[in-house]
Amino acid sequence: MSLLPRHFFCSLTLLTAGLLSVSSAEAQQMYYPFSDRVPPGYTAEMMARVRQDDPYYLQPIRIELPSEGTVAIYSANPEPSAVLAAPALASVNPGHLYRLRVADMPELPGVELYPSIEILDRLHPPVGRTLNYPIPIVLTKDDLEAAANGQLVTRVVYLEEPQLAATQDPLRRDIPISVPQGANALEEAERLGRPMVIVRIGGRTPTAMNTPISFFGTGGAVDLGKSVPVNAGVARLSNKPRQQAAGVVQRTQN
């Protein structure tokens, strides 16, 4: 993920008094109230209620395919809000679910897939530099092939804590951490940093007659605005070569 100065990062406290009740006997077993397994869109909505951020804030995202291809972005409408060449650059509302259509990929000729992206949180960049800090959503060849073969791949993109970030990796990296099918990928991402986006990549496709409108998202805004530079957002956190980047917690299931 694009880097921000250290003081722009703060922990998101999700375990509030209204969401968590712990007895003295359970003091060592903290309950995490959110999950990537609930219906798509629910977690983003609940997190938005907890944070009470500006609901109209537009968070830049950058959707990357293995190489070339097109990305359509849907928001509660069977007609796409935008159809873009990869990497697709847009700004969206945290707290909402969006549907994508990825196609025209030379690695998967003739294949169309419809991943969903659930925007959990936003970044807090310096004033006037919002577009310099998009959240990278990387759809890898392996993930797309797994979805085309009938599997469901769930990824949670999180912003690393500076204390946990690796010291020698490149600025832009995408190193999935796999979790078992029974694990809560969102809870693991919270342990490692700040969850930003849940990406679900499966083989489900819409049909003209039987697809509910909810399949296409929850109605958040889509703004193309100005282009976000691919190499934007590089900022040194200290004199040491330690960087803060996007991590991914991933689960694949049949």
Domain range spanning residue 221?
6-10+38-253
Cα 157 from Cα 245, distance rounded (Å)? 10
% of the chain beyond a pLDDT of 90: 40
Report if residue 31 sits inside a domain.
no
Residue 87 counted as domain residue:
yes
CB 129 within 8 A of CB 205: no
pLDDT, one tens digit per residue, over 85-99 is 999 999 999 999 999
In a domain, 1, yes or no: no
The region, left, alpha or beta by phi > 0 then psi within -120 to 50, assigned to residue 90 is: beta
Which amino acid, 31? Y
When divided into structural domains, the chain yields a total of 1
Establish if 25 belongs to a structural domain: no
Q: Is 165 among the domain residues?
A: yes
The encoded tokens of residue 158 equal 């999180």
Rounded to 5 degrees, what angle do the CA atoms 146, 100, 79 make?
140
120 within domain boundaries: yes
Q: Is the per-residue pLDDT at 151 higher than 60? A: yes
- Cβ atoms of 162 and 242 within 8 Å: the answer is yes
Residue type, 21: S
Decide if 233 contacts 132 (C-beta within 8 A): yes
**CA-to-CA distance for 128 and 111, rounded, in angstroms?**
39
The residues, ordered by sequence, that sit 6+ positions from 120 with a Cβ below 8 Å of its Cβ are 43, 44, 47, 94, 195, 196, 197, 198
d(CA 15, CA 60): 27
Report residue 42's pLDDT band, with 50, 70 and 90 as the boundaries.
confident
Query: Can you tell me the distance from the alpha carbon of 177 to that of 186, in angstroms, rounded to the nearest whole number?
Result: 12
Tell me, yes or no, whether 17 lies in a domain.
no
CB-based contacts of 128, cutoff 8 Å, min separation 6: none
Residue 23, pLDDT above cutoff 80: no
Please tell me the predicted confidence (pLDDT) of residue 35: 74
In-domain check, residue 242:
yes
Q: What is the pLDDT of residues 49-92, one digit of tens each?
A: 888 888 889 999 999 999 999 999 999 999 999 999 999 999 99
Q: What is the pLDDT of residue 162?
A: 66
Amino acid 253: pLDDT? 67
Residue-wise pLDDT tens digits, 109-136: 999 999 999 999 999 888 888 888 899 9
Other Cβ atoms within 10 Å of 176 Cβ, number: 17
